[in-house]
Structure 1
Amino acid sequence: DRIGIQTLANAGFSPYEMPNFFERMQIANRNSTTNLPELLLTHPVTTDRIAEAHDRATKYSPNLKTENPLYNLMKAKLLVSTSNDKVKLLRTLKTMLANKNYRDEHAIRYALALTLLANRHTDGVQKQIDWLIKNDEDRVMYRILKAKLALVNNDNAKAMQEYEKAFQIYPHDKMLGLDYAEKLLQNNMAAKAKKILTNIPISANPYYYYLLAQANQTTGSKAESYFALAEKYYLQGQTAIAIEHLKQALKHVKTNFYLTTRIDARYKELQAELLEEKSE
C-alpha cells in the first residue's frame, strides 16, 4: 500500500484514490464470502487498512497533474453539443466569465464562442476567437471556429478559405478533415472531399465512411462507395447489412485487382464473423 500511494503521488495523481478505492472494494464485497479474488483473501480490505492508507495519503502534499488544456477544450465542446437549452447555457457562460468563475479561461471562452454561434449571435464570436488566438497556441479547433463563423455569416467563400488554410497546417487532423470534407460535399466538390478523407487517418467512425461513400458515389466510384457503406454499417453493429453492401461492391468493381481483393477479403471476414454471431 505504501509503495502504491507513493507511486500515485509521484506521478501527480491524488494519493487519496488508494483509500477511496479500498472503501469501494469493501462495500462491494461486504456481503460476499465466496468467489473473492485471491488478492482480497491474502490481503483483506479492513477498516484498519483503509485508515492506515488515509493516514499515509495525508503525508503527501497536493501535487496533482496539470489539466490538459486540449482536454478542457474538448469538454467545453461536448458541453455545448449536448446542451438542450443553449439560450440558458449562453447566459450561464457569460455570467461565469464575468465573475471569473472558471478553472480554465480558454475553455470557458471557447464554449461561449460555440454557444454564441449555436444561437446565431455572431457579434461576440470574433472577440472570443481573437482572445483565444492571442492567449493560446495555434489550435485546429480555433481555425474551425473561424470557418464556422464565416458560414453562419453566409460568407461561404471565406469559410472554404479558412478550412483550406487550416488543412494546409493540419493535413492529418481527423476533426478538421471530417468537417472540411462535409462542407466540400455540400458545395459539390466531391473529388476534393475524397482527397481530404483519404489523406486523414482511417477512423473507426461511421460518419467518416458515410462521407467517403458520398464522395465515391458522386465521383462515379460505385464499388468504393458500397465498400465504404459496408464499413459504416459494420461499425454500427449491422454486420448482415454490411455484407450485402460488400456483395454490391463486388458486382460493381471492374478491373481493379487490388480493390477486388480487398473487398473479397473483407466479405469473407464479415461472413465468418456473422456465422460466429449466429452460433452464440
Structure 2
Amino acid sequence: MFFFRGKNFSFELNTRTYVMGILNVTPDSFYDGGKWNSPGAALSHALQMQNDGADIIDIGAQSTRPGHKELSENEELSIIKEYIDAIIPKLSVPTSVDTFYPAVAEYCLMHGVAVVNDVSGRFNPDIASLVKNYNAGWIVMHTGGGDADRMTDYEENVVGNVNAFFDYMLEKSENFGIKREQICLDMGIGFGKDYEDNLTLIKNIKLLKRQDVMLLTALSNKRVIKAASHSDTENCLFGTIAADTAAVFGGTDMIRVHEVKESKIAADMADAVFRG
C-alpha cells in the first residue's frame, strides 16, 4: 500500500478518487472571487463542502487567474490569518493552503493546516524546510516557467517536460529529507500551457501517474474547459465533470474542484467503473 500522508492527514493511494474543495478568500478569483471574503461566509462554505463529501479543503488568498495582481507576502499573510483562525478549529477534514510564500505557509502549518499547495513551480528550500519540520504534505505544481498569462514552448513534448519536473522535485525533496509519501504531484493545467498542451496532459495522465505518489488534477472551470466545452465560466460544471472523469480514467488520485457535491457524485461513479 502507498499513501500521501503527514502529521495531520493520511490518504491511501490507488483505492478511490479524493475530492479537494476549493475555498478562495480573495476578491478577484476567476470563478468565485468575493463570494467568501469574510471569515463567517468562508467557514459556512467550508462546512458545506465538508458535508458534501470533500476529503480536504484548499484555502487560498492569492488569485492566480489570468491578469491577476500579485499580493506581497505580508498582504497575503494579513488576509489569510483571520480565515485560518476561524475555519481550522471547526473542520474535521484536513486542509491545505494555496501559497508560495514561506511566511504564509508557516503561519498556516502552525495553526493546524496539513498541506502546502505550492504553485511556484520550483523547489523552494524555505518551503521544503517547513514541510520537513512540520511533517506536512507538499503539493508541487509544474508551470514550465510560465503562469496563467505566459506560455512555454515545450517543443511538442509537454508530457516529457512535466515528467522530468516531477522526477526532479521528487529527487530534490528526498535528498532534503522529505519522505516520498509527503509529496503530491500536480501537472499544472493552465499554468504556462496553451490549449493543446492542456488537452495533451489530460489525454496522457496514465503516463504521468506514479503508483507510489499522489497525483492531483486541477481542472475545475479552467480556460481549457471553457474552450473545449464552448461554455462560459458560469456553465463549466458539465465540462469540468467530463474532464475530471477522464482524469480518473487516467489514474489521478485527487481532483480539485469548486462544486464538491456534484464532483463527488461523478467521482464515485467513475471509481465504480474504472477502479471497481
What TM-score do you get using the length of structure 1 for normalisation? 0.25
> RCO greater where, 1 or 2, for CA within 8 Å and sep 6 or more?
2
Q: Looking at secondary structure, tell me which structure has more helix per residue.
A: 1
What TM-score do you get using the length of structure 2 for normalisation? 0.26
Q: Looking at secondary structure, tell me which structure has more strand per residue.
A: 2
